[in-house]
Amino acid sequence: MKDAKSIGPVDADPRAAYHESAVADAKPFAPVKYVCGIIYADQAARDEAASRLTGLLGPVDLRSETFAFDMTEYYEKEMGRGLKRVFLSFAELGPPDRLAGIKLRTNGWEREIGSGTGEGRRAVNLDPGYLTASALFMATAKDFAHRVALRDGIYAHLELLFTRQGARALDWTYPDFRREAQTTFFLEARRIYLEAIRG
């Protein structure tokens, strides 16, 4: 039997040499493309939200079709009936670690813009996020198993993956993000993004 001295330190990690040679240096994040969904009933409230978003994120370069937000009744008590949904993407790229700050800002705007018809009297719901070459992430203040904490109570929610075959929904992807018109919108926003980063 070999003694401990002959086999080396008892806490030696046989993978240590690999880890020492394979350490990756931290690098700056690649810029991302910001997007935002707007749920609303009143067009004036939508326009006010869009105006504030362009002030924060820059000019809009792509707008989705407007569609009835009828996949859930979740927001009706607070915002009323007849809700609509539209997505915007923005031309100016920026760092992904800005997302939490953007969400905190839009949460404040939701309390300021207009007056809804529901009991909660909220006129808009704003869902900022960003896309990269490989995925779409949305910001949320609600924690769940598949969400990653960012800061100040804001989490990142992985919504879609982008593959060679198109946009891939996940088990937790929301129904309105699964619609063909919406995946087409995000794929087009991704195409614009790829052109921008390639110069």
Nearest residue to 140 (alpha-carbon basis) of 105, 103, 174: 103
The reported pLDDT for the residue numbered 113 is 92
pLDDT tens-digit profile of 172-195? 999 999 999 999 999 999 999 999
Q: 133 CB contacts (<8 Å, ≥6 apart)?
A: 162, 190, 193, 194, 197
Given a cut of 60, whether residue 10 has pLDDT beyond it is: no
pLDDT tens-digit profile of 75-111? 888 898 999 999 999 999 999 999 999 999 999 999 9
Question: Structure tokens of 105?
Answer: 């800002």
Count other Cβ atoms within 10 Å, centred on residue 176. Answer: 19
Q: How many residues are given for the chain?
A: 199
Question: Structure tokens of 51?
Answer: 């105006």
For residues 117 and 110, give the distance between their C-alpha atoms in angstroms, rounded to a whole number: 14
The reported pLDDT for the residue numbered 166 is 95
Nearest residue to 75 (alpha-carbon basis) of 38, 112, 43, 49: 38
Give me the residue spans of the domains in the chain: 29-198
Lowest mean pLDDT among 2-6, 54-58, 97-101, 170-174: 2-6
